[in-house]
Structure 1
Amino acid sequence: MRVPRFDAAGELVHDGPLIGAALTRVLASGRFIAGAEVDAFEREAAGFLGARHAVSVGSGTDALTIALQPAADRHPGGEVVTSPLTFAATASAIVRVGLRPRFADVDPDTLTLRPDLAAEATGPRTAAVLPVHLYGRAVDVTALRSAVGPGTPIVEDACQAFGARDAAGRACGTLGDAAAFSFFPSKPLGALGDGGLITTGDAELADEYRLIARHGCREQYRTERVGFNSRLDALQAAVLRVKLARVDQGRRRRAQIAALYAARLDSVPGLRLPADAPGHAWHAYTVRIAGGRRDTVLARLRARGIDAAVQYPVPLHRMAPFADPRPCPVAERACAELLCLPIWSGLGDDRIDYVAQELRDALRTAPVA
């Protein structure tokens, strides 16, 4: 049986006709950059999240970069405290605005930034704290805010967490001072290409973000500050408007899939399952395999047609562009053990059963390193 990690075509089964109509509408309008479609998506996304302001941009990486720029303006050459267990775009955005990442280790259960360690990493050079809602699980931003103090800006990396909520039911993207989302096709809200969004409750920040993303111009040919070109095009906005209506339904189905995996893999020797949490978006279902067997198990699964993946094999503080000698032992161990199983809202129960059975078989036969 073939089980892809994500099936973009399968995700469009229900939305295909509506997306076709939306694209036709944009093509007929002749307006492909900015305009009513993009404005409507920003309003609808903000309304869905409960955010006061939403600024669409060209990608999740751009969203992170632009969201951090005001902090870089206030603290040139400063530091951003963040997690080492995430995609490189998190740290790249920090470096692109002239700041340096300062890594703090993650919690062994949630794999998200530990508030107490983040507080230890903050200091006079801290420009912001950048927690990552890893795999769609909300960081406890309330505890983080309490630990680092009210004067430290918190920018959420919510690129994997559109539609996720914290234990109090608040949407990721409304928990900090600002947040960045990605609309890469495999994300909980995915476009048919790239796209991103910044949310904030601060009108002045929203105005600054929009200015940066539009070449520093409020009116054409009059630049007020250095910016760059980062725009969500109207075709992608139209697609996202259609898919936005099904975000909660997709999240509920992924939660069902996570529960099915948990039931089928419970008490398997040598396997640690991800902890569930209310409001989890389940962008990824990531198990942990100890004993140096992860890569052997991965090879077995792929040979059996299962597109499992390692996300992420190396913590950021051990990568050359972001090198930091301070250890983060929990993240380092996790990177040697993590394995992402296929999950998307259209994944059928037969494939879930197949993945679970093959994983059990692979673990039974894989030798301990």
Structure 2
Amino acid sequence: MNIPMLDLKKQYQDLRIDILEELDKVMCSSQFILGSNLKKLEQDIANFSNVSHGIGCGSGSDAIHIALQALGISDGDEVITTPFTFFATGGSIVRTGAKPVFIDIDPVTFNIDPMRVEEAINEKTKAILPVHLYGQLSDMEQLSIIANKHNIKIVEDAAQAIGSKQNGKTVGQLSDAAAYSFFPTKNLGAYGDAGMIVTNDDNIAEKSRVIRVHGSKPKYFHHVLGYNSRLDELQAAILNIKFRYLEKWNDLRRQKAITYTNLLRDRLGTTVITPFEEQGNYHVFHQYTIRVNQRDKLQQFLKDQGISTMVYYPLPLHLQPVFEGLGYKEGDLPQAEKAAKEALSLPIFPELNMEQQEYVVMKIADFYGK
């Protein structure tokens, strides 16, 4: 049996007629940039996030960067974040001229440990950038208390977490701004790069819209240094179709996650540590990530059995060569470093069936002699 991490071909076949029809409309309209499809998507995603504004960008990475710049983060500032994340989180901070300050993670959720945030705050700290890893929100209630106490901002890296909730509140409601990614593998994925900022703050929204068009307002008059980062009409048209199914797909991902957890616990007991969903959270399981011993050997074994897996992420940001100048060394953030050696993401997508999941668990059990 061959099981991919994600089956976008099956998803496309289900939506093919609708997608081709909408793409043809865009081609016939000759409106490819900042048109009606993007306007609809921005409004729908904003409504979905229970905020006032959606600002489409060229990628999730740009969404983080532009949101930080719109908040005024610049040279000499510091932004507290997690090292256990995709590079864009730290890279976006550096691109503003600010310094990323990495603190350790909660070993249960993989998210930033709020208990360690306050001790990292100083007079240069301007923002906290939590990452809702694998589809589960960080402890936003505690982070908000800390941010309010010290008068600093919060930008959520919600690249993997569209649709996730915490005590009934959504991404974007819990911060100054949040950044989504619509990379093709995401729960709501385009057929190329795309991203969006969501916010309730009129000033952040306006600045973000200006920054994404080279800092131009009105056209050809530039008061800030911006970028070319626009979510184009073709991608917006695709995302408008897919958005209709997002809640259904997220619910299916949650069902697959429950199935995995039950099968793994029944077959392997405590040999495998399954994902933990914090009370009050609605985890959308962008990834279903287990913790195991002999992770790399297990991954190779599963590959030999036709099962795709991924390691998110094999080297924490504080140990990446590009950030060597920040002065971190191995052992500084032990929980993130340990997770990088143990975390393994299994195939999960709405179309995954029971037979495939049983096969994955059976082969994991075979590896551990269970």
- Shorter-chain TM-score bucket reads over 0.9
Q: In structure 2, what is the equivalent of residue 335 of structure 1?
A: 340
Question: SS of the residue aligned with 1:339?
Answer: strand
Distance 1:299 1:132 in 2: 28
Distance 1:251 1:37 in 2: 23
Distance 1:125 1:197 in 2: 27
Q: In structure 2, what is the equivalent of residue 313 of structure 1?
A: 314
Please say if 1:49 is aligned against 2:49.
Answer: yes
Q: In structure 2, what is the equivalent of residue 110 of structure 1?
A: 109
Shift in Å, 1:198: 0.3
Q: In structure 2, what is the equivalent of residue 17 of structure 1?
A: 17
Shift in Å, 1:219: 2.2
Whichever residue aligns with residue 19 of structure 1, its letter is I
Q: In structure 2, what is the equivalent of residue 363 of structure 1?
A: 368
- CA deviation vs aligned residue, 1:124-150 (integer Å, no higher than 9, x gap): 111210000000001121111113434
Shift in Å, 1:311: 0.8
Q: In structure 2, what is the equivalent of residue 32 of structure 1?
A: 32
Distance 1:246 1:12 in 2: 12
Distance 2:233 2:160 in 1: 22
Whichever residue aligns with residue 85 of structure 2, its letter is T
Q: 1:74 to 1:318 in 2, by over 3 A?
A: closer
Q: 1:12 to 1:195 in 2, by over 3 A?
A: same
Q: How many residues align?
A: 361
- 2:73–2:98 Cα contact (<8 Å) kept: no
- The runs of at least 4 aligned residues of structure 1 exceeding 4 Å deviation read none
- 2:74–2:97 Cα contact (<8 Å) kept: no
Q: 1:253 to 1:36 in 2, by over 3 A?
A: same
Shift in Å, 1:74: 5.2
Whichever residue aligns with residue 300 of structure 1, its letter is F
Distance 1:47 1:14 in 2: 26
Whichever residue aligns with residue 328 of structure 1, its letter is L
- CA deviation vs aligned residue, 1:254-273 (integer Å, no higher than 9, x gap): 00000010011005142111
CA RMSD, aligned part only?
1.4
Q: In structure 2, what is the equivalent of residue 289 of structure 1?
A: 292
Whichever residue aligns with residue 363 of structure 2, its letter is E
Please say if 1:347 is aligned against 2:366.
Answer: no
Shift in Å, 1:118: 1.1
Q: In structure 2, what is the equivalent of residue 8 of structure 1?
A: 8
Q: In structure 2, what is the equivalent of residue 64 of structure 1?
A: 64
Shift in Å, 1:191: 0.6
Distance 1:325 1:185 in 2: 33
Structure 1 stretch displaced more, 264-273 or 201-210 = 264-273
Percent identity for Structure 1 against Structure 2 = 39
- 1:95–1:101 Cα contact (<8 Å) kept: yes
Distance 2:283 2:341 in 1: 24
Shift in Å, 1:174: 2.2
Distance 2:40 2:144 in 1: 32
- 1:122–1:148 Cα contact (<8 Å) kept: no
- 1:75–1:125 Cα contact (<8 Å) kept: no
Q: In structure 1, what is the equivalent of residue 131 of structure 2?
A: 132
Report 1:203-282 matches (<5 A).
Answer: 203-266=202-265, 268=268, 269-277=270-278, 278-282=281-285
- 1:101–1:322 Cα contact (<8 Å) kept: no
Structure 1 stretch displaced more, 170-179 or 85-94 = 170-179
- CA deviation vs aligned residue, 1:81-127 (integer Å, no higher than 9, x gap): 00011001100101111011101111111111111201111111112
TM-score by length of 2: 0.95
Q: In structure 1, what is the equivalent of residue 119 of structure 2?
A: 120
- 2:147–2:153 Cα contact (<8 Å) kept: no
Distance 2:128 2:319 in 1: 20
- CA deviation vs aligned residue, 1:154-184 (integer Å, no higher than 9, x gap): 0000000111111x12112321100111000
Question: SS of the residue aligned with 2:312?
Answer: coil
Structure 1 stretch displaced more, 73-82 or 61-70 = 73-82
Distance 2:2 2:172 in 1: 35
Whichever residue aligns with residue 286 of structure 2, its letter is H
Whichever residue aligns with residue 46 of structure 1, its letter is A
Distance 2:236 2:198 in 1: 16
Q: Which runs of 5+ in 1 are unaligned?
A: none
Report 1:179-218 matches (<5 A).
Answer: 179-218=178-217
Question: SS of the residue aligned with 2:14?
Answer: coil
Distance 2:351 2:360 in 1: 15
Distance 1:342 1:75 in 2: 39
